[in-house]
Structure 1
Amino acid sequence: MEEKAWPIRQQQRRLNLTILDMVKKEVTKLLATGIIYPISDSQWVSPMQVVPKKSGMTVMKNLCRFRTASKRLNQATRKDHFPLTFIDQVLEKLIHENPHCTGRSTQDNLHLPIRYLCVHRMLFGLCNAPSTFQCCMTCIFLELLQDYMEVFMDDFTVYADSFDACLGNLSKVLTRSIDTNLVLNFEKCHFIETEGIMLGHLVSNRGIEVDKSKIDIITSLPNPIFVREVRSFLGHARFYRRFIKNFSKIALSLSKLLQKDELKNHLTSALILQAPNWDYLFELMCDASNSAFGAVLGQRARAGADKQVNVITYAFRTMDPTQLNYTTTEKELLTIVFALDKFCSYLLGSRIIVFSNHAALRFLLKKSDAKPRLIRWMLLL
């Protein structure tokens, strides 16, 4: 732990009944195997978190993972800088070595649910778990690495240039696993392959190719709209950037969306915001685009269109996926509802003028057959 770190006790998170039943079964199993044990109290407490796998959330079928929400604990942890193996070097080693065998050690994630429980082994989700696991696997197979075996955390591959040599190398690896009590996940082991998936890539004597299943996931991603979606898409695409010529040039338009220089320029040249004068009326200027809406709250020193508006504050929000499907009238009215709610502390009991560039809003008060959503918003106004 860091020298100045203080114990952190986080509150337990709520779980629905379905997941809670799964957690109870998993805890019972781990208590029986001695992986975890109950304690009365602890200075360090992290809540339990369920991470569903892609194929479902059934404990008995091993389709979900239980982990601790260790963000606060990771912040107080002194980092282990044991290096991980370079993925490209592992893949390049396998191109001319066929056949090969791949395997994965069994669960490296431990769990911490329901009550105060302590673990005997490394928790899934701790910041030092990858480095610790890589160090452990390196120590176990130290004499075998580089010659006919490569390890990347819990994934490893055994290779040779002939069938008999591959069997001999595999026998040595399995013997070392037995001697060190290393348990392998049989469902994820593949033996004597001339091509196979390794670390998200298809490796064969033809070379290194992208994993088609990963590409299908990337192509099925929706068009990014929000900043987090842009970051997520770029993260997926960058995993295979070595396969794409001029990747940086192609991705530049998306990367520009995440640049902060424009925000810096706006901050350095930002208008001076004014304090409200409660004797003057407020002016609320609202506008919506296809993907976001915003509002400006201001006042004029004296009535008159020629007087400059003194800005009090701004408000802005991007639309969620449902709101993106709204009509233009709905978006413009939603902007006004959002602004009135956002600036309620200023506007309650004060005189106000609302400005909008959508003239159709004037007819909503006379329209008796408007959509229920529009009627509800008009009642709020």
Structure 2
Amino acid sequence: PLLRKNVLVFFDDILVYSKDWETHLVHLGEVLEEGVAVDPGKVISVLHWPQPKNVKGVRGFLGLTGYYRKFIRDYGKLARPLTDLTKKDGFKWGEKAQQAFDELKRKLTSAPVLALPDFTKSFVIECDASGGGIGAILMQDKKPIAYFSKALGVRNLTKSAYEKELMAVVLAVQHWRPYLLGRKFLVSTDQKSLKQLLQQRIVTAEQQNWTAKLLGYDFEIVYKQGKLNKGADALSRIHEGGEINAMSSQLIWLQEEQVKAENKEDEKLQKIMTEVQQDSEAWPGYEYKNGVLLYEGRLVLSQKSLLIPTMLEEFHSTPNGGHSGFYKTYRRIAANVYWIGMKGTIQEFVRKCDICQRQKYMATSPGGLLQPLPVPNQIWEDISMDFITGLPKSKGFEAIFVVVDRLSKYSHFIPLKHPYTAKSIAEVFCKEIVKLHGIPLSIVSDRDPIFSSSFWKELFKLQGTKLKMSTAYHPESDGQTEVVNRCLETYLRCFIADQPRTWVSWVHWAEYWFNTTFHSTTEKTPFEIVYGRPPPLLSRWVQGETRVEAVQRDLLDRDEALRQLKSQLLRAQEKMKSQADKRRTDRSFICGEWVFVKLRAHRQQSVVTRINAKLAARYYGPYPIVEKIGAVAYKLKLPEGSRVHPVFHVSLLKKAVGKYHEEEELPELLEEPIDVFEPEAVLATR
């Protein structure tokens, strides 16, 4: 009756106009006296809303009802079965969803009236917190004006009941700040300890943080038992997400006609389309709409569709796809289209991607089970050697030559001066090692240029010594010397960290310490194994004491010690292998297979020169396998000019998936290429 007389309505704006102030107050009272309520004429269509058939339909219904959620108490709780349907792969319409659907339609058409605020009267806030959320009601004269609820995050779920109740008070006051600032109001809570909030001593930083947000407000906290605070308690138990402003659009495929034509040629899809048109429940998930077959709302393609390779390239190999792994690529494609067997197709495409094979790390355990070297029969028959370099110059010395007996673990640490050559190292070896222990039968070393030189090889070949070198980029083959190096470096750091240039004066003490230290592997000291007696003590037990031992007894004890030593070493190797193999996989290849090679960061320039090591390829190749060396190493056919040993440990190899029948050239150099020279003639020899 008031419309166009003293009231105009434009969308959600209401204009009340009058001739004078007194009349205007009367007109305002007439408009607002019944409060704010839902217009039944506007929501009558909700009663005739059809049952949603998919996620899109559920979201549309929730979008409409959510607009009126402030009129419906416990809206979040009522709508929970429907919101659960919008989760990934969660659309399964059941009895609970139907009940929630019907209840929301009923609630919306019978929504309560919210009172309008009267700023001449005081406000009351009823607050409560439960295990999963907080809630509050703004009231006046025991009539609700507005509702507020909020779900607690993971971090806040672990807080105490007191902290949750305090949070409910603070957030409610902040939410209704325009109503409360500048006037006194009451806060009703069922947390009795909050009644003395403003008088008690604040102890924790959490309390200080929340209490500081209440400064400037004039309020009083009153205690109300939980059973009398039902409104706020119910709201606190609503798991209410944030409001969603959703826009929907229809995906238009430019190749729709092509898809239709391809699907008609597919016998299986043609059968599905025919049966779905006759019975929509014949093939769950499928629907035939506007001449197009859909599966869960996605366009269905034929397995032989020419669009599939394009889709794979677009969603995997482009910057948008980012060369993601199988699952991420699958999720991207599955959000748009569907075809029968799409998981297998995508998995095979990603597995054969050449760029992914070259650039990505292997997520599996390292390949190749541990292969310990055989235990030697006698001491100083089998030794291992290595260098410790990068030391500061000390009395002219800059490196340490480390020689270790593989059976007794007895070691020699020999300082060296730069530059040292294969010839000079051979002289040092004969002077310091051979004179004490004789010529060894085998030597294990890494691929240092000294040990791989023709001079070194020829020298020991003539003496009957076999050289055993670790495979390329796999120092674990020479792991014993690596351990000794770490022990020596640690010893020196402990004593000369403040004066590193004095290390040469401590090397002989380090050697004595290492050789007289008990080893858990052998259960003896290296000194005792080599000499058959405990190491001499620096101070005697009793001054003037002497010992007399029988020679035969000494020899028997020595032989027994060697026998026990070999037994201990074998047990230690078995234990080491068992532990190491837990973190490894048994990986093998056959001759003729093509593999990618992983090069260590400090060695990758041997095959290809790179400007930036961080962004360089992780794997190079592929290259064919020409020979199997031992149990866990393979020899590859590398490109001409490669400055790297062609034998690699299996952990550095990755099988090349795809068609690689022709040997590819070395990756293009990023800097100056490596020149390969071929001699024309030998002019002289000496």
Fold shared per TM-score above 0.5: no
TM-score, normalisation: structure 2: 0.18
TM-score, normalisation: structure 1: 0.31
**Greater length-normalized contact order (CA 8 Å, ≥ 6 residues apart):** 1
Bigger-Rg structure (1/2): 2
